[in-house]
Amino acid sequence: MATKRPRIKTRERDSIIQSLKAGVVPRTGIQHIQVGRANEIKAIYKDIDRIAQGGSAFRLIIGEYGSGKTFFLNVIRSIALEKRLVAVNADLSPDRRIHASAGQARNLYSELMRNMATRTRPEGNALTAVVERFVNSAQEEAEKTGASVSSLINDRLSSLSEHVGGFDFAKVIEAYWRGHENDDDELKSNAIRWLRAEFSTKTDARKALGVGGFISDTSFYSSLKLMSLLVRQAGYEGLLVVLDEMVNLYKLNSK
């Protein structure tokens, strides 16, 4: 008796066909055309399970040009989304790198946040949806317990305040909640801009949101940690960070 094959969703089918026609890696449905990496996939599943359990994992994908590194990274991203993780990804370049002092690390962080994806928003730009989910989960808990939404949000954000940069981060999330509660779209937009590292001066950040800091080169790593805590509090299993095109770092001037 023939084995019943899983059906491919129409959206995934169209994404695969259109991407392959354009010569790029599909953003969704990629698992349907991936073959020959059973051992690697098994290891990645273990890593993702470890992240979902509150741990961490680090992998370097190494291979010759054209060997399928980017393709495999997208497979990893797809698996993470199916496992209810939030994924952020970006290509490294001289203008987007982890360690910098002239805005390049902030550029990288901003690109990661713009490309944030969830299972329901695999194409990216999911940061607002993640913050909304955090707020909505607090509202749902308030309805069940009779507590005020603001007190629940403050309780959840108090754990963020204990980390480096967490006080401003928490105040920005709180500002988003105020905008949500008062139908203040400008305040909500400013909060998302701050979380995307789109503020570059303390003056602008203080004027828009009442916070004394902004996400900069020096706060790149601590801001990622805070975002990983936020996505968990929003009900996701963890945060996956995918960085590609490390070869571009060879273009840096070492003089």
> How far is the C-alpha of 61 from the C-alpha of 41, rounded, in Å?
12
Whether residue 31 has pLDDT greater than 80: no
Give the pLDDT of residue 143: 86
pLDDT for the residue 5? 55
The per-residue pLDDT for 151 is 86
Full-model pTM: 0.86
Average the pLDDT over 58-81 and give the result.
90
pLDDT at 6: 58
Q: How many CB atoms neighbour CB 86 within 10 A?
A: 28
Phi-psi domain of 211 (left: phi exceeds 0; alpha: psi -120 through 50; beta: other): beta
**DSSP conformational letter for 163:** S
Share of the chain above pLDDT 90, in %: 60
State the pLDDT at residue 253. 66
Buried b (16+ CB within 10 A) or exposed e, 184-210: eeebbebbbbbbbbbbeeeeebeebbe
pLDDT at 255: 44
- Model pLDDT, residue 3: 52
**Helix (H/G/I), strand (E/B), else coil: 91:** strand
**What confidence tier does 4 reach under pLDDT thresholds 50, 70, 90?**
low
- Using pLDDT thresholds of 50, 70 and 90, give the confidence band for residue 37: confident
Q: What is the mean pLDDT of residues 74-102?
A: 93
Model confidence at 116, in pLDDT bands (50, 70, 90)?
A: very high
| pLDDT per position as a tens digit, 122-180 | 889 999 999 999 999 888 888 888 888 888 888 888 888 889 999 999 999 999 999 99
Q: 61: helix, coil or strand?
A: coil
Tens of pLDDT, residues 210-253: 999 999 999 999 999 999 999 999 999 999 999 999 888 777 76
Report the alpha-carbon distance of residue 73 to residue 79 in Å, rounded. Answer: 10
Return all residues near 48 (Cβ < 8 A) that are at least 6 apart.
57, 79, 80, 83, 85, 238, 240
Average confidence (pLDDT) over 80-97: 94
In this prediction, residue 250 carries a pLDDT of 77
